[in-house]
Structure formats: C-alpha cells, structure tokens
Amino acid sequence: GAGVSQSPRYKVTKRGQDVALRCDPISGHVSLYWYRQALGQGPEFLTYFNYEAQQDKSGLPNDRFSAERPEGSISTLTIQRTEQRDSAMYRCASSPETGYEQYFGPGTRLTVT
C-alpha cells in the first residue's frame, strides 16, 4: 500500500516568508509525528497527533511553528516568518497506534536563504 508522503520534497524560501509543509500519513494510522533533522543529527521530535488532537507540542522551537491535523488524516506544519536557522529536513511519520513503530515519509528539505 501507499506509504507516508510529504510535499513539497524541496522548498527554498526567503527569510521572513511563511511556509507550509504537508504530510499525508498511511491510511488509518492514528498517530502522526513531526520531526526536524539537522545535518549530522538524528530526528528531533517537534509534535504529534492522535487523530485530530495535538497531544504534545513540546518540541516546537517557538511560536513561529504550528501544526494541525483537522480531520485526523493529512497534517500541515507551518513555519511563519522563516529564519535561516529553520533550514533542515522536516520529517513526518505515522503509526498505527501510540507507541508503535513509526513509518517515515521522504521528508521535506527546507532551505531558508
């Protein structure tokens, strides 16, 4: 079946612009996670959802970052007023239930110039 998809795969934006990153999880998966991965590092947790409810957003770096999953399926991670330090790979993963293994998407490479 179809895996987790993310779009766009690559995004170059100018400092100060807003960006929206999309994640389409595996159909029926309850949990959806967002991570940020810098070069040479492992994925760093940002936030996660069970269905449409945002269960934990403690990893979001500041209030410029927000996420939603309004219908319990597709999720959008929005970064407002982007800064160069936001440049990273943003990964989405979904899981059948909380605590189970996660299935990752290909990621979105964000570059802020």
Q: How far is the CB of 14 from other proteins (least distance, A)?
A: 27
Q: 61 to 90, contacts with other proteins by CB under 8 A?
A: none
Residue 75, SS3? strand
Q: Is the peptide bond before 43 cis (omega within 30 degrees of 0)?
A: no
User: Measured between alpha carbons, how far is 21 from 11 in angstroms, rounded to an integer?
Assistant: 9
Tell me the CA end-to-end span of the chain in Å, nearest whole number. Answer: 37
Q: Does 1 bind other proteins (CB under 8 A)?
A: no
| Token output for 42 | 């492992």
Q: How far is the CB of 111 from other proteins (least distance, A)?
A: 18
41 or 113, CB closer to other proteins? 41
Binding site for other proteins (CB under 8 A): 31, 33, 35, 40-45, 48, 55-56, 91, 93, 98-99, 101-107
